[in-house]
Amino acid sequence: MVRTALSRTGIATAIMMLAMAGAVRAEAPSPLVPGQEIAGRAEARRLFDPQAMPGDYIKGRINVGEGRFDLDLVDGEGRHVRRLAEDATGVAEFQFVAGSAGERLAVTAGQAAGLYRLLIDRRITVAEQQAPPPAYLSPEIARMAASLAKGETTDAFWKRIEERGTPLVEDGPDGTVIVTFLGRGAKRNIRLFGAPSGDHEELQRLDGSDIWFRSFAVPAGTRLSYQLAFDVPDLPGSARERRVAILSTARADPLNPHRWPAEAMDDYNQDSVLELPGAPPQPFVAASGAPQGTLSHIEMASRILGNSRDITIYRPPGFDPARKDIVLLFMFDADQYLEKVPLPRILDTMIARGAVPPVVAVFVANPDRAARARELPGNADFADFMAGELYPRVLAETGIRPSVERTVLAGSSYGGLAAATVALRHPETFGAVLSMSGSFWWSPPGTPDDRKEYVAGLVAAAPAPPLRFFLSAGIFETGSGGTAGILDTSRHLRDVLQARGVPVIYRDYAGGHDYLVWQGAISDGLTALFPQR
């Protein structure tokens, strides 16, 4: 009897559940119109019709004022398709693409009744799902895109560009300038090698035409050099191997007549130049006919480092070693500052015009690239070589006896880093630092993440050094991937030096990591550190 009663009860329950399911399927869903909010109070499930066709994009939200709700997408038969919000409180956003006609939204209350508001924000049909037209930073490129859409050719465009030269320069918003780098004739890609990005930016192809372009909004005082790399091979290998493959095709921009240095062997060893009208003057770079100093060469063996290197010494015109106002300048990366940057000629002109006192310049080379990477970044042995071996050798060779205050270390990139670290280790010998785009992001291997700015940490942790600093950086030398770049770390070092009471002159340039910028910054630094009264 009990078994019979239970069986009848079970059958009745099953029939009731089936009836409820049928009621759910049979329930007429409330229509949902985009932008029209529906408020509800529910103790059980309620259906809504988003009126979506297959492929439609639906975006909406459920705003729960009281209780908790689940929101599901069900098909026309009431079968579950996907859960959009579970146990929702507050505001829960949802979005989906309709898979079949008749799909519904099912709102189900939790254990107790609650209040909610349901809203469809957007319903975008398949026909309406089109990306907006590209927004072109360059007005000229925008006009060319419109012309291509009308079936016109690029011939007239390229004729104008050949007459004007590249990059394309146009007025931008808020006093900026829009610079568009252009390339023609590539099969696969064109990459920009140099500022203003520094990230090997890909040029875009305009609507399948022969126009490749990349636009940037830059300050009106921008000065930079760059190359274009056509059809860079996509290689198997490490990320670095793939990145440096750009060097295999990078060359001067064939449509830019302004190149540097002018006497380069070929296009691949030459950069193209962009100097906007607002770029700061570099008054000492051009040949001036000033009296010339002399260059002598010595081979310097180092017991400390266990190697030897070439040293070039510049003596100013009318050199008198007995003069008390002589400045002794140590310049790292000798080859670059003897050849790419004509520093001896720059010094000739500066001295002739009375911009600086007589300067003896010592150009310090590294034995090779590997030695440079070992010696310049924070190497105590290299600092000891500079103070204990090279410095006395230079005094013996030249007969000068400069004061510490008039002895300056100068360099760019790793050389700028070395100028700072060598002086901090030997302030009794070197009294001034001229650092251009110094690699102050560098820290020794194993440095904790919270102490990555090594040089700033040295300055902060020790008594204020008896030094004077000139620091500069390019505004395009920013970091990436959460890592601070040269611009940020140079500014931070400036702030730390100022906080410690160390004299520091800081200058930003609208440029990148670039000898074209540094050939002007070196004279700016010398006149700032050793002004003529």
- CATH number of the domain bearing residue 62: 2.60.120.380
Query: For residue 92, is it within any domain?
Result: yes
259 and 328 assigned to the same domain: no
- Is the distance from CB of 457 to CB of 493 less than 8 angstroms? no
C-alpha distances in Å from residue 234, one per residue of 36, 245, 249, 392: 52, 8, 12, 51
186 and 120 assigned to the same domain: no
Give CA angle at 185 (179, 189), nearest 5°: 70
Final residue belonging to a domain, choices 128, 157, 176: 128
**What's the pLDDT at 519?**
98
**What's the pLDDT at 5?**
39
124 and 162 assigned to the same domain: no
CA pair distance 398, 412, nearest whole angstrom:
25
0.95 surpassed by pTM: no
Residue (of 439, 463, 436) closest to 452 by Cα position: 439
Query: For residue 294, is it within any domain?
Result: no
Query: For residue 54, is it within any domain?
Result: yes
**What's the pLDDT at 27?**
63
Digitized pLDDT (tens) for each residue of the chain, 533 residues in all: 334 334 444 443 343 334 334 444 446 899 999 998 988 887 778 999 999 999 999 999 999 998 899 999 999 999 999 999 999 999 999 999 999 989 999 999 887 778 999 999 999 999 999 988 889 999 999 999 999 999 999 999 999 999 999 999 999 999 999 999 999 989 999 999 997 987 899 999 998 899 999 999 999 999 999 999 999 998 888 988 888 999 999 999 999 999 999 888 999 999 999 999 999 999 999 999 999 999 999 999 999 999 999 999 999 999 999 999 999 999 999 999 999 999 999 999 999 999 999 999 999 999 999 999 999 999 999 999 999 999 999 999 999 999 999 999 999 999 999 999 999 999 999 999 999 999 999 999 988 877 889 999 999 999 999 999 999 999 999 987 778 899 999 999 999 999 999 999 999 999 999 999 999 999 999 999 999 87
382 and 458 assigned to the same domain: yes
- Is the distance from CB of 377 to CB of 417 less than 8 angstroms? yes
Final residue belonging to a domain, choices 78, 105, 128: 128
122 and 235 assigned to the same domain: no
Query: For residue 346, is it within any domain?
Result: no
Query: For residue 211, is it within any domain?
Result: yes
Query: For residue 122, is it within any domain?
Result: yes
Query: For residue 399, is it within any domain?
Result: yes
Helix, strand, coil shares, percent, the chain, to 5: 30, 30, 40
246 and 173 assigned to the same domain: yes
With 0-12 / 13-18 / 19 or more C-beta atoms within 10 angstroms meaning exposed / middle / buried, residue 221 is middle
116 and 186 assigned to the same domain: no
120 and 159 assigned to the same domain: no
- Is the distance from CB of 164 to CB of 174 less than 8 angstroms? no
183 and 228 assigned to the same domain: yes
Query: What's the distance, CA 227 to chain centroid?
Result: 17
328 and 477 assigned to the same domain: yes
CA pair distance 383, 183, nearest whole angstrom:
46
**What's the pLDDT at 8?**
42
Print the domain residue range for 83.
Answer: 17-128
- The total of structural domains in the chain comes to 3
Angle between helices 454-461 and 486-499 (to 10 degrees): 0
Residue 75: DSSP 8-state = -
123 and 143 assigned to the same domain: no
**What's the pLDDT at 167?**
98
Angle between helices 454-461 and 414-425 (to 10 degrees): 20
- Is the distance from CB of 69 to CB of 88 less than 8 angstroms? yes
378 and 523 assigned to the same domain: yes
**What's the pLDDT at 15?**
37
Q: Which helix (H) or strand (E) holds 61?
A: strand 57-74
CA pair distance 69, 361, nearest whole angstrom:
78
Query: For residue 287, is it within any domain?
Result: no
Q: What is the CATH number of the domain that holds 212?
A: 2.60.40.10
CA pair distance 454, 435, nearest whole angstrom:
15
CA pair distance 435, 452, nearest whole angstrom:
19
Q: What is the CATH number of the domain that holds 410?
A: 3.40.50.1820
Taking only Cα atoms into account, the Rg of the chain, rounded to an integer number of angstroms, comes to 35
- Is the distance from CB of 300 to CB of 330 less than 8 angstroms? no
Final residue belonging to a domain, choices 72, 106, 128: 128
